Chain A
Amino acid sequence: MKTCVIVFPASNCDRDVAVALEKMGASPKMVWHGETDLPATDLIVLPGGFSYGDYLRSGAMAARAPIMREVLKRASKGTPVLGICNGFQILTEAGLLPGALMRNAGLKFICKTVAVTVENNETIFTARHTQGQHIHIPIAHHDGNYFADEDTLDHLEGEGRVVLRYDDNPNGSARNIAGIVNKSGTILGMMPHPERSIDPLTGTCDGKALFESLVEALA
């Protein structure tokens, strides 16, 4: 499987996700935000971090970076895109996913391992999970409070696009949403960090199944 990780100024989980992909046998290419072209790839990853310092709005400036034009093009042709944390914020800012990620309801940055339910295991990202599985996975964000209008939320729910839901809402997200996909199920945005959950030495391993699902689906 060929993968690309987009590196924005002040991305800081780019290495972590590259390590995770490598571990799953996918060799990631790191692509600088200023590039205008992407190599052939089966998966595009927008990593976590603080692109542009999260100034103005999280993900806002990154969503307008030169490389994003190409990401949008590929995404529209069906190339899968995974946005983790800051990557999720970038996906909403770029209009690839609906809604917005606002300041956590408690206003504080939160870093901890939380319980999340897999609400839909019929996506390329979650096939290795069971439906309704509770997984434990770290979050680390200041702006993870998912917002969308009621109509949009109803649509997301109705179409099975709420893929991950917090068991105990840490940040005020509408309907406890932790991750959603686009209509065609090829783009996932999620606040939790699966790449920090692949090694028993550093915590839980529940994030591994996401990468395994992708490898299986895209190999």
Chain B
Amino acid sequence: MTAFAEGISAATVREHGLTEDEYGQILKRMGRPPNYTELGIFSVMWSEHCSYKSSRRWLKELPTTGAQVICGPGENAGIVDIGDGQAAVFKMESHNHPSFIEPYQGAATGVGGIMRDVFTMGARPVANLNALRFGDPAHEKTRHLVSGVVAGIGGYGNCMGVPTVGGEVNFHPSYNGNILVNAMTVGVVDQDKIFYSAAKGVGNPVVYVGSKTGRDGIHGATMASAEFDDNSDEKRPTVQVGDPFTEKLLLEACLELMAGDAIIAIQDMGAAGLTSSSVEMASKGEVGIELNLDQVPCRETGMQPYEMMLSESQERMLMVLHPGRQEAARAIFDKWGLDFAVIGLTTNTGHLTLNYQDEVVADIPVEGLTEDAPIYDRPWTSTPKPATLKADACPPPDDLGAALLTLMGSPDLASRRWIWEQYDHSVMADTVGGPGGDAAIVRIHGTNKGLAITTDVTPRYCQADPIEGGRQAVAEAWRNLTAVGATPLAMTDCLNFGNPERPRIMGQFVECLSGMGEAGRALDFPIVSGNVSLYNETNGEAILPTPAIGGVGVIRDLAKRAHVALEETGDVLLAVGKTGGHLGQSLFAREIHAREDGAPPPVDLATERRNGNFVRTCIEKGMTTSVHDISDGGLYVAVAEMALAGGIGAALEAPHTNTHGFLFGEDQARYVLAVRPDQVDRILSQAQDASVPAQILGHVGGAGLTVNAGRAVSLSTLREVHEGWFATTLSTRT
């Protein structure tokens, strides 16, 4: 017979997303039945979102260390050394479920949340990116979702004055009922000004700053850990509204306070708000925390402890200050017009103790909420290796040029300008490479160094072969950084999957991570932060496995960088890497032959590394400034993108057999370089010395693209189909 506190039943426990078993463990830990507030606190701390109960076992196997790593997973964001006493701070986070329910606010608060994770650590955010997945463009909800999400991301980031410099967008019917909105922020901090979240000492003041607490998003964390069904609309009132104005003030106020030495620990209030922030600070610092909830600034009257602890109101932070610094800190927050309240103390009890109206309303050992959280080694099954797509499954198209136009105007390859022109990508005046390139480049303010940043994953590869797909996602991020001339440093991830309680989905997760880990190790590209979003399913239909990778690299001298644009007539086009004509899982197969089968292109990590290092060296030595990696759509698409960016055409030479495989195959570890004619021999011989395959592809020039001197595809037609898709398909008037 299970024991319940007054007013709580087995149904209450279930509604909190806790299993009978988990409830049993809570009883054991507490030595008594938890009251309603305590149950709420356990439910959010033990939710998938906060406890990583299905994923933790596998996350541990990812590579997270390296000489460049200052702080790996476990803090609000990861930190890497970028030289000169500075560091880059970054993380990616999902806001999938809220964005499906209310696209504008869901996406906006996602951006707000990830920026807080970065400035909590003392860094000024310098770049935002976003990785987005939507359903079928023809699906009735897609237009509304795309417009709302894009407007929300812009609405928040633009107001904050942080440039949104890149990201990615895909469309696939598997996201019809579960869009993905993953937001990434990169910040820069002086290494001696980094702040962490571990509380220290006993009797130190716990301080609440930012916005007031309302009844927003109560149970957001558990919502993010539940599957959708057709009744999800009922969960609507839990949506939070973002206030970027307040967040901008919070950013400036926090950085002003951080310039001094008043802060012992600081933690943003994200998912599970006051609960997870106080528990995490206590747990990391191995102290207890006692809060007086009467002091919590509330937006509404009559808010109960349960609501205050579970509210996900935005734009709030929790800090532990050195004793005696409260008034100096308060003056700063007063100046910025923000709430400031001392709401508690650190203690030596090891408990989270909550007082409200002179009563103890909750008293939980902190370890019970963290260490004791369940960890599941969920059963999983391996995804069967798909058969390689037979050549006759993908015959040559009637017209190569027409096929190129189809691809360039297809949802996954069309220009994303319609999206990124809604983002302020030039504020802060340090955007050296904005959206539209391989990786964005942001100058580190006041220096001649830059950070290169990208987000990548190819979900259709992950679906077909999760291990290969996991490798490829990492390899592509690394390659995009390399293509602009950057030295890749580290990555963050956002692991979006379906229901982990299904062995097939859990298997996708396990195998994608295995591929990612292998690639991270092989490329010296550790994972320093990330986020897991599971249960992305509606009515049993899971999304494609989508482990989005956010990559960060450094360019030590901005004079030595590359962009995608072709520059000059007469330049020679070179392909670096071996072109084998792999059409399985290619966009050519999907868009021209409506086939989504076959094995994805294999990734050879040693080759990846060798080819990439060679290309980076070419850029560093000034032998080329025009480089593009070859990914979705293959070589012809890569050249077309370079031509459009530069406004110059090109004439390509291709083999006469399997020409379409050569042009549209998606073999990995490849780049296109445009070089001055006098550099060609030098590059080819150095490539040979480095055992890197390199070949002449053709020449730059003309007003269109030709293959083997055939009929030209004019750049103007190409531009029209490429730029037109979003405006015509997705533009809505409001």
Binding site for B on A (CB under 8 A): 9-10, 12-13, 15-16, 19-20, 34, 48-50, 52-55, 107-112, 138, 140, 142, 193, 195-196, 198-199, 201-203
Contact = CB atoms under 8 A, between A and B. Distances in A.
A115 to B, nearest CB: 15
A109 B427 CA distance: 13
Nearest to B430: A202
B243 interface: yes
A13 B161 contact: yes
8 contacts: A9-B249, A10-B161, A10-B244, A10-B248, A16-B427, A111-B158, A138-B426, A196-B426
Interface stretch (B403-411, B417-425, B483-491): B417-425
A111 B429 contact: no
Contacts of B425: 111
B558 interface: yes
Contact of A12 (B151, B243, B248, B558): B248
B71 interface: no
B424 A140 contact: yes
Given A50-B244, A202-B432, A109 B426 contact: no
B734 interface: yes
Contact of B245 (A20, A53, A140): A53
B426 A140 contact: yes
A162 to B, nearest CB: 25
B154 A109 contact: yes
A80 to B, nearest CB: 22
Given A49-B161, A108-B422, A111-B421, A16 B428 contact: yes
Nearest to B159: A50
Given A10-B159, A50-B244, A50-B245, 17 more contacts: A9-B337, A10-B161, A10-B244, A10-B248, A13-B161, A15-B428, A19-B429, A48-B427, A49-B161, A52-B245, A53-B243, A108-B421, A111-B422, A201-B443, A201-B558, A202-B429, A202-B431
A15 to B, nearest CB: 7
Nearest to B154: A109
B492 to A, nearest CB: 25
B336 interface: yes
B430 A111 contact: no
Which among A48, A50, A112, A195 has the highest number of chain B CB atoms within 10 Å? A50
Contacts of A19: 429
B432 A140 contact: no
A15 B429 CA distance: 9
B154 A9 contact: no
A19 B446 CA distance: 9
B55 to A, nearest CB: 36
B495 interface: no
A16 B445 CA distance: 10
Interface in B688-734: 733-734
A141 B31 CA distance: 58
A138 B421 CA distance: 11
Interface residues of B, number: 33
A137 to B, nearest CB: 10
A176 to B, nearest CB: 19
Contact of A195 (B159, B161, B429): B429
A50 B426 contact: no
Which among A49, A138, A201 has the highest number of chain B CB atoms within 10 Å? A201
A203 B734 CA distance: 31
Contacts of A16: 427-429
B429 A199 contact: yes
B554 interface: no
B328 to A, nearest CB: 18
Nearest to B160: A12
Interface in B181-200: none
Contacts of A109: 151, 154-155, 158, 422-424
Contacts of B151: 108-109
B429 A50 contact: no
A108 B154 CA distance: 10
Which among A15, A110, A140 has the highest number of chain B CB atoms within 10 Å? A140
Nearest to A170: B421
Nearest to A12: B161
Nearest to A19: B429
Contacts of A198: 429
Contact of A10 (B245, B426, B429, B733): B245
A10 B244 CA distance: 9
A53 B159 contact: yes
B432 A201 contact: yes
Contacts of A50: 158-159, 161, 244-245, 248
Nearest to B150: A108
A108 B429 CA distance: 22
Nearest to B162: A12
Contacts of B244: 10, 50, 53
Which among A52, A111, A112, A196 has the highest number of chain B CB atoms within 10 Å? A111
Contacts of B336: 9
Interface string B314-345: 00000000000000000000011100000000
Contact of A13 (B159, B246, B427): B427
Nearest to A48: B427
A106 to B, nearest CB: 9
Contacts of B154: 109
B734 A111 contact: no
A49 B161 CA distance: 7
A173 to B, nearest CB: 17
A110 B426 contact: no
A142 B161 CA distance: 14
A203 B426 contact: yes
B698 to A, nearest CB: 30
Q: Which 3 A-B pairs have CB atoms at the shortest separation, nearest pair first?
A: A12-B161, A53-B245, A50-B159
A213 B712 CA distance: 48
Contacts of B423: 109, 111
A143 to B, nearest CB: 12
A191 B112 CA distance: 26
A54 to B, nearest CB: 7
A55 B245 contact: yes
A112 B443 contact: no
A16 to B, nearest CB: 4
B156 to A, nearest CB: 10
Contacts of B734: 107
Nearest to A7: B252
A16 B154 CA distance: 20
Interface string B211-244: 0000000000000000000000000000000011
A112 B249 CA distance: 26
Nearest to A140: B424
A199 B428 CA distance: 12
Contacts of A15: 428
B333 to A, nearest CB: 13
A108 B148 CA distance: 11
Contacts of B428: 15-16
A178 B155 CA distance: 23
Contacts of B159: 10, 12, 50, 53-54
Interface in B417-473: 420-432, 443
